[in-house]
Amino acid sequence: MNDAVIVSATPGRILELGYSIDGEDLGIQPCDGLLCATPPGSTAYNLSNGGPVLVWGLDAMVVTFVAPHTLHARPLVVGPGTELVATNRSSDVGAMVLVDGHPVADLEFGQSVSVRIGESRSCLAMLPEQTFFTRYGQVFRT
């Protein structure tokens, strides 16, 4: 899986998302969405929203707000065993949960979704001459 994303079910409407990590409430953030990306998924939607690139093989996920309506929301990298819970706090706007771009659930007002690093791992085919940093340099060199 590359990423899990929570977005407004009504295009053009912002969401108010409450979020917590490992049961610690971190507040409510007005935004266009929230995404959690794995290392392979960190170079797509996450990167275009100002999130960091995670090196292949890193056992982590990045949590990045999509167009947050504040100057203070910053991406957060979390490790295994960490659980993010996001709650739709918009009383008049529904939200959708997408996994790798496919809708998997709706979130009405007050409903939550939990995201964490799964126990299963996938293996990427890697050629000896094509390391992460070689590929990174090819793609992101200015």
| Mean pLDDT value across residues 23-41 | 96
Which pLDDT belongs to residue 98?
Answer: 97
Per-residue model confidence as pLDDT tens digits over 57-109:
899 999 999 999 998 899 999 999 999 999 999 999 999 999 999 999 999 99
Which pLDDT belongs to residue 76?
Answer: 96
| Mean pLDDT value across residues 109-116 | 97
Which pLDDT belongs to residue 118?
Answer: 86
Q: What does the alpha-carbon distance between residue 75 and residue 52 come to, in Å, rounded to a whole number? A: 8
* Residues 86, 19 contacting (CB under 8 angstroms): yes
Domain covering 3-140 assigned CATH 2.60.200.30 in the classification: yes
Query: Could you tell me whether strands 24-31 and 33-37 are parallel, antiparallel, or unpaired per DSSP bridges?
Result: unpaired
Which pLDDT belongs to residue 126?
Answer: 67
Domain boundaries of the chain, sorted by first residue: 3-140
Q: What does the alpha-carbon distance between residue 107 and residue 8 come to, in Å, rounded to a whole number? A: 9
Is residue 128's pLDDT more than 80? no
Q: Which helix (H) or strand (E) holds 133?
A: helix 132-140
Q: What does the alpha-carbon distance between residue 119 and residue 121 come to, in Å, rounded to a whole number? A: 7
- As a whole-number percent, the residues of the chain with pLDDT over 90 amount to 76
Please give the full DSSP string across 34-97, using - where no structure is assigned. EEEE-TGGGGTHHHHTTPPPPPTT---EEEEEES-SSS----EEE-TT-EEEEEE--TT--EEE
